[in-house]
Amino acid sequence: MKTSFYEEDELKQLGLNSYGENVLISRLCSIYGAENISLGSNIRIDDFATITSTLNQTVIGDYFHLGLSSSIMGGNIFVGNFVTVSTKVSIFSISDDYFGNSLSVCVGIPDDFRNMYSGRVEIGDHVNIGPHSIVVPDIIISSVVSIGANSFVNKNCDSFGIYAGTPAKRIKEKSKRCLELEQSFRGLSND
């Protein structure tokens, strides 16, 4: 009996660049540019999530969860370990400029008439991104950061911070306890 996640033989057929152990990818998600996507171990990608990596590589570390209807778009995106991307989050490494100096990116519009900007997106270890948040191109979210629900991340986020709002601003310090817990967890899993 098939589950709602791809079986091992089906994962191989997706054509991912690489993936580790215990990778759960919903049969209802969409993946484009699979050959540019590398996934670590202990991964869960939920229903209706989308990963598009047609322009560049996307690398996702261990212990990662991509929530329902979330998207990682463009490629040139690097995600650390112990990261949760909640429901309906959008992470973009490429976007229109939205200033009206070009035509919108639509099917059939030549590059000469478009003005896209792009940039690497880096998400460190122990990051939680709350539901309905947006991360734009050329952003670094450092390790041990939480992004509140409905936030618009258009500036880098420094370590050990809780960020929220539109645009996202640092509102509080985040506990470093997760680093201790990671050490204990890794010690248990090596026994």
Per residue in 159-171, pLDDT tens? 999 999 999 999 9
pLDDT confidence of residue 120: 96
Q: Where does the pLDDT of residue 189 fall: very low under 50, low under 70, confident under 90, or very high at 90 and above?
A: low
Q: What are phi and psi of 165, to 5 degrees?
A: 110, 180
- Total domains in the chain come to 1
Q: Where does the pLDDT of residue 190 fall: very low under 50, low under 70, confident under 90, or very high at 90 and above?
A: low
Helices vs strands, H then E, count in the chain: 2, 21
In a domain, 2, yes or no: no
Range of the domain at 119: 8-189
**DSSP class of residue 131?**
T
Asked whether the predicted pLDDT for residue 38 surpasses 70, the reply is: yes
How does pLDDT run across 88-129, given as a tens digit for each residue? 999 999 988 778 788 877 778 888 888 888 899 999 999 999
pLDDT confidence of residue 3: 81
Average pLDDT over the chain reads 93
In a domain, 91, yes or no: yes
Cis peptide before 110 (omega within 30 of 0): no
Contact 50, 71 (CB under 8 A): yes
Q: What is the CATH number of the domain that holds 182?
A: 2.160.10.10
CA angle centred on 41, ends 190 and 30, rounded to 5°: 165
In a domain, 3, yes or no: no
Among the residues of the chain, which ranges form H helices? 8-14, 177-189
In a domain, 1, yes or no: no
